[in-house]
Amino acid sequence: MTDSTDEAGPECRQCGDPVGSSPEQRVITTVEDGTAVYKRFCDDDCRERWDTSA
């Protein structure tokens, strides 16, 4: 992954905080209707909370 230069970067799917280029961020990639969909998370804790709430 490359660093984003956008002012308004992606937000964590769980808590809504901005997801920076931290080594702790997590990204889940799926394909929906032939398009790659990226679900971004601040860290493992947010990803695990999202997994248990889904």
Query: pLDDT of 23-40, one tens digit each?
Result: 899 999 999 999 999 999
Would you give the end-to-end CA distance of the chain in angstroms? 26
Q: Given this model, what pLDDT does residue 6 score? A: 52
Enter the pTM of the model: 0.73
Element (H, E) at 50: helix 44-53
Query: pLDDT of 8-22, one tens digit each?
Result: 689 999 999 999 888
Query: How far is 13 from 30, CA to CA, in rounded Å?
Result: 14
